[in-house]
Structure 1
């Protein structure tokens, strides 16, 4: 699921019950809400009743989008038109003019509890043929006729602890990061997955807790993934592909009851990130240092990208380099490193890395080496640490086995402390580069 609710430009509707063979139609979200409102409401109802119902209809639909309720279950649609499960939608129907005007005003506003992020699962029914715990559509008419405002009507059904919020509009996106997550990966997607597994483990104690939740896919994370996969009858390979990702999403929805009126809910604290989603001017730290490393490396082969100092401070020079890179790949040069800019940086770096065979250069892999990693890059790292141990007695020689064990991790921690790097015990691309250069310098001085 996305971090924050948003209004998708389009929504895909299944014209039947979830498991029925039926057509899927993709329509603009605005037109979808106009259709639902025209299918469920009477245009002659008081305006405040219509407004209250439209708020509920938008919130209901956004809850389905935000939780990826159907997508996480393997369906290829966002919502159905079956009123037994969702909202009425009649493909191709005429839209009431006054309803369309109200929807045009309200389609990006939704209901939420004050302390929670997710859109309220605004359950409702017609109130005559069907009774429910949520809003009564016919009941809203009586309340509107009594002079209640839309907000007052809504609080009669959903309680006083109710916010009306506005969401931005953007293209529909799926939460799956696009490629499997595995040992050594470091990203926001890994951190999101770690947080969700930790919450799920409260209900399924066989899943070990992941600590720290830091966006690095280490051996502890792999163990938690395997335990989850075993419980939910997935191949226990420790790799988070689409099936595992969306099963985690589905179970996370269930344990928090996100698609229920009495949801436990997602708080701001739940989505606070160790890794910033966007890097921008004024930020400091390892993510900025890693960005600067990639920019610096790419800039050695592209004259239009100015040099940047690798100091972990996102200042004017870094912003200028980011803008130059963005222009070079056809992105909006806003100087902010979001997912599109970051992915293009990695792609450009990987292209250079694949084309350069100069033995004097150190081209780190783009993944992070962590406890449990096994690769030729780990062997390179261990060989460098062994060279450094000849100069730094604090660094112990390690067998160059290609397996990142406790001995290797301890040496990395020692090196990071000696060189003023954040002592994480993990080797991201920049740390890999610094260790390689330091080892090369030792060999040159011999």
Structure 2
């Protein structure tokens, strides 16, 4: 991939453009480019802005050093632009966390319930621990009633599904300000 020049076209150029466009979504100092597979002025300007931003010689030519620097920055940008890695507790098929049981997942479940409780005053308050105590059971029953499922207080995969959804809706990005949304109604 040494020395991509303006007369070059095709998939390597399109790959470069896709990487630069993704980086531009993450870093506004990089000129965006439309991935059309043609190394024209817009691609050259995007490469130049990338080179300038990263302290490289500003040539507008994608030499091997530029290519690798773009690829490295692209990998970082993809991580920043992608959704956060999900946390999926391992609940075995048919596994249930019942009242009084200990389970390490309860630390996370309780934390989620506490965050949701900041938006729903009627949600019973729980302590973050590894015990499905009476307050934890009542909070899960509250959630199950809101979800329209049997309010057993047991934590199942179905309960986790509704807990995860309500957490995502209620908490959003965690800043307390969810653009374009209103506070949750009870």
TM-score range, shorter chain: 0.5 to 0.7
Q: Could you tell me which residue of structure 1 aligns to residue 184 of structure 2?
A: none
| Cα separation, 1, equivalents of 2:43 and 2:170 | 35
Match of residue 189, structure 1, among 97, 102, 105: 105
Is 1:264 equivalent to 2:161 in the alignment?
A: no
Contact residue 229 and residue 236 of structure 1 kept, 8 A? yes
Counterpart of 1:44 in structure 2 is: 13
Alignment of 1:296-311 (within 5 A): none
CA distance in 2, matches of 1:254, 1:204: 12
User: Conserved in 1, the CA contact under 8 Å of 2:124 and 2:139?
Assistant: yes
Q: TM-score, normalised by structure 2?
A: 0.53
Q: Could you tell me which of 208, 216, 221 is aligned with 2:131?
A: 216
Asked whether the equivalents of residues 21 and 34 of structure 2 are also in contact (C-alpha less than 8 Å), the reply is: no
Structure 2: runs of 5 or more not aligned = 1-9, 36-41, 55-75, 81-85, 176-186
Distance in 2 separating the partners of 1:207 and 1:144: 51
CA deviation digits over 1:316-337, x for unaligned, max 9?
A: xxxxxxxxxxxxxxxxxxxxxx
Aligned to 1:175: 89
Which stretches of structure 1, 4 residues or longer, exceed 4 Å deviation after superposition? 52-56, 139-143, 162-166
Name the structure 1 match of 2:57. Answer: none
Change (3 A) 1:192 1:245: same
Distance 2:79 2:96 in 1: 34
User: How many residue pairs get matched?
Assistant: 128
Gap change, CA 1:44 and 1:203, over 3 Å in 2: same
In the aligned structure 2, how far is the partner of 1:142 from the partner of 1:201?
Answer: 52
Given that residues 182 and 217 in structure 1 are in contact (C-alpha distance below 8 angstroms), is that contact kept between their aligned partners in structure 2? yes
Whole-angstrom CA distance in 2 between matches of 1:143 and 1:209: 56
Per-residue CA deviations over 1:209-258 (Å, capped at 9, x if unaligned) read 102x111110010011001111121211101111111111111122232x
> Residues 177 and 189 of structure 1 are in contact (CA less than 8 Å); yes or no, is this contact kept in structure 2?
no
Please give the alpha-carbon distance, in whole angstroms, between the structure 2 residues aligned to 1:194 and 1:173: 14
The structure having more radius of gyration, on CA atoms, is 1
Distance in 2 of aligned mates of 1:194 and 1:143: 51
Instruction: Report the alpha carbon displacement of residue 138 of structure 1 after superposing the two structures with TM.
Output: 2.0
Q: Does 2:34 align with 1:138?
A: yes
The Cα of 1:53 is off from its aligned counterpart by 5.0
CA 1:164–1:43 in 2, change beyond 3 Å: closer, same or farther? closer
1:55–1:234 Cα change, 3 Å: farther
CA contact (8 A) 1:176 1:242 kept: no
Residue deviations 1:21-43, cap 9 Å, x none? xxxxxxxxxxxxxxxxxxxx953
Q: Give the gaps of 5 or more residues in structure 1.
A: 1-40, 57-121, 124-134, 153-161, 167-171, 258-262, 266-446
Higher relative contact order (CA 8 A, sep 6+): 2
Q: Trace 1:33-432 onto structure 2 (pairs within 5 A).
A: 43-45=12-14, 47=16, 49-52=17-20, 138=34, 141=43, 144-148=46-50, 174-178=88-92, 179-211=95-127, 213-257=128-172, 263-264=173-174
Question: Alpha carbons of 1:221 and 1:55: their partners in 2 closer, same or farther (altered >3 Å)?
Answer: farther
More strand by share: 1
What's the counterpart of residue 6 of structure 2?
A: none
Q: In the aligned structure 1, how far is the partner of 2:139 from the partner of 2:118?
A: 13
- Judging changes above 3 Å, is the alpha-carbon distance between structure 1 residues 190 and 50 closer, same or farther for their aligned structure 2 residues? same
